[in-house]
A and B are shown apart, each in its own frame.
Chain A
Amino acid sequence: MATSDAYIEKRCVISGAGQSDVARRLGRNPLELTLDACLAAIEDAGLEVSDIDGLSTYPGAAAPARGFSGGGAYEVIDALRINVGWYDGGLETSGQLGSVIKACLAVGAGLCNHVVCFRSVWEGSAQGSGGRAAVGMGSEAQSGPFYASGMTEYALPFGSASAACWIAMYAQAHMHRYGTKPEQLAQIALNSRRNAGLNPKAIYRDPLTMDDYLASRMITTPFHLFDCDVPCDGATAVIVSRAETAPDLRKPPIHVEAVGTAMHDRPSWDQLKDVTRMCSHDAAAQLWSRTDLKPSDVQIAELYDGFSFLTMNWLEALGLCPIGESGPFIEGGHRIALEGELPVNTHGGQLSAGRLHGYGFIHEACVQLWGEGGARQVEKPLEVAAVAAGGGNTCGCLLLTKGR
């Protein structure tokens, strides 16, 4: 690792991970869920609340839609009376995991030693009986005169009211350019459901067949219902700690081998240079420039699936398969299954385990690296996991290692 030891994320480990109850709708105080996750992660690391001196979260208290944030930095700092050397909460970063990466930078910079990082959602409860559109960006239209502005100004007037529509266009363009087939896209959803069947906390656990998938309601071509993640209530937290503290920690440390945050394109969903390529490619290239490990070293990949195509996009961006070949790579589903050569979304992803919004993937990578996956634990000994979240212009990724 001599060439890349200088990068400061390598001074960090993930020392604990925790999660609140997770369900389609819990009807509980979202801040309580947030605190449940934070306390669980702190305990998992073998730390006390008084050891925590940093806090990082996405998106912070100011949320663009109901249910999108279950608590901000100040609320949690106050509830737990944390004395912080550093804290941050914000939406304008490299995807949901940008908050974990910022924590690594703060620890590396010496501002703090143990950072609790969290993401909390209550979109299931917020949506009530109104369906997904009730928490979408057009939802305020129901409560009086509403005009589109900001990032949705050039989308909402054309009924392009959901990221489903924006990402569907990338998926459609990928199919057009590379010949990707609907039955290949389906494997992301089918794989997630198989894995969710082994995850007691997953939301949808009943078997899903290709016929079920193809017969399901079309949302926006090529996305069927099962290509879209399921809004839920739940909070997830991980602890980023200074590597030197590892001997005092309860669990074997998970090292942050490399991170990727780059965006070499416009911060937009519709003005990117290439309609089959997202900023995931920039973030992933940066990640690989900060490590001597190679894509072939990755043993499991926990890759964002807010919409199924995003997982395929990350497979290509991270070099886990060649550009344009994610369709053939996942065809039949064997390669990405738990017993396959590259298990993907081993907990069921957001498609079946709930839209915990990015943090479900890093939680699951830690669970797998610690061998705590129970019925869904990958059998081979694991040392290297790739984790990625986001899409379009908001993308971040991490390479995690254990025992190396």
Chain B
Amino acid sequence: MTATEFRILPRLTDQNRHFWQGGERGELVFLRCQRCGTYVHPPSPICPVDHGKDLKPAAVSGRGTVAAFTINYQPWIPGMELPYVIALVEIEEQPTVRVQTNIVGCAPEDVFIGMAVEVTFEHRPDPNGDVWLPLFTPRAGA
């Protein structure tokens, strides 16, 4: 995994903690409509499909597919080791849910669209609440 000295962390709120801290238990977590089963991301107070308000955090398998990616060489943020791969990963349970993430655990030039990946978490301690960033790595055996 790329050793990155610095990351800008998300501002934790009651609405997003499940996503950013699910990694403490090794889980990728999204809000899920308890009535129709739709995963909702980013978090919303209402299900976009049936407008139900009973949404609860639910873990998914952590498996996904690279839908798009870019190898970034530009030092936008001081302290991030270059280059790094930014990707959109579609989750297995519901491909309409995409996460923007980094692909780690392989050379940037080995990333491809359609690549099978699985989640891995990068723990970032922070005084305002630790964050476990969901990153993705090539899926073993895929």
Contact = CB atoms under 8 A, between A and B. Distances in A.
B86 A159 contact: yes
A147 B128 contact: yes
Contact of B73 (A132, A154, A220): A220
B71 A220 contact: yes
Contacts of B101: 158
Nearest to B72: A220
A154 B8 contact: no
A275 B67 contact: yes
A239 B135 CA distance: 49
A173 B68 contact: yes
Contacts of B80: 159
A273 to B, nearest CB: 8
B9 A169 contact: no
A109 interface: no
B68 A157 contact: no
B26 interface: no
A62 interface: no
A260 B11 CA distance: 36
Given A158-B100, A160-B100, A149 B72 contact: no
Interface string A240-273: 0000000000000000000000000000001101
B113 to A, nearest CB: 5
Nearest to A228: B74
A220 B86 contact: yes
B7 A165 contact: no
Nearest to A269: B100
B89 to A, nearest CB: 10
Nearest to B16: A153
Q: How large is the interface on B (under 10, 10 to 19, 20 to 34, 35 or more residues)?
A: 35 or more
B75 interface: yes
A136 B76 contact: yes
B70 A169 contact: yes
B97 to A, nearest CB: 8
Q: How large is the interface on A (under 10, 10 to 19, 20 to 34, 35 or more residues)?
A: 35 or more
Contacts of A141: 8, 77-78
Contacts, number: 119
B3 to A, nearest CB: 14
Nearest to A174: B68
A162 B74 contact: yes
Contacts of B88: 169, 270, 275
A149 B10 contact: yes
A99 B76 CA distance: 30
Interface string A133-161: 10010100110001111000111111111
B27 to A, nearest CB: 17
Contacts of B71: 218, 220-221
Interface in A166-223: 168-170, 172-173, 176, 217-223
B133 A154 contact: no
Contacts of A142: 78
Given A153-B16, A169-B69, A133 B74 contact: yes
B42 A153 contact: yes
A157 B8 contact: yes
A169 B10 contact: no
Interface string A217-239: 11111110000000000000000
Contact of A147 (B9, B70, B133): B9
Interface in B35-76: 41-42, 67-76
A164 interface: yes
Nearest to B70: A168
A250 to B, nearest CB: 46
A158 B124 CA distance: 12
Contacts of A154: 10, 42, 99-100
Contact of B98 (A161, A165, A172, A271): A271
A223 B84 CA distance: 14
B131 interface: yes
B102 interface: yes
Contact of A172 (B9, B41, B42, B70): B70
Interface in B84-142: 84, 86-88, 96-102, 113, 128, 131, 133, 135
Given A218-B73, A219-B73, 16 more contacts: A141-B8, A141-B78, A154-B42, A155-B100, A157-B8, A157-B131, A158-B86, A159-B80, A159-B84, A160-B86, A169-B68, A169-B69, A172-B113, A219-B72, A219-B74, A271-B98
8 contacts: A133-B74, A138-B77, A147-B9, A153-B10, A159-B84, A221-B72, A271-B98, A273-B96
Interface of A: 132-133, 136, 138, 141-142, 146-149, 153-162, 164-165, 168-170, 172-173, 176, 217-223, 270-271, 273, 275
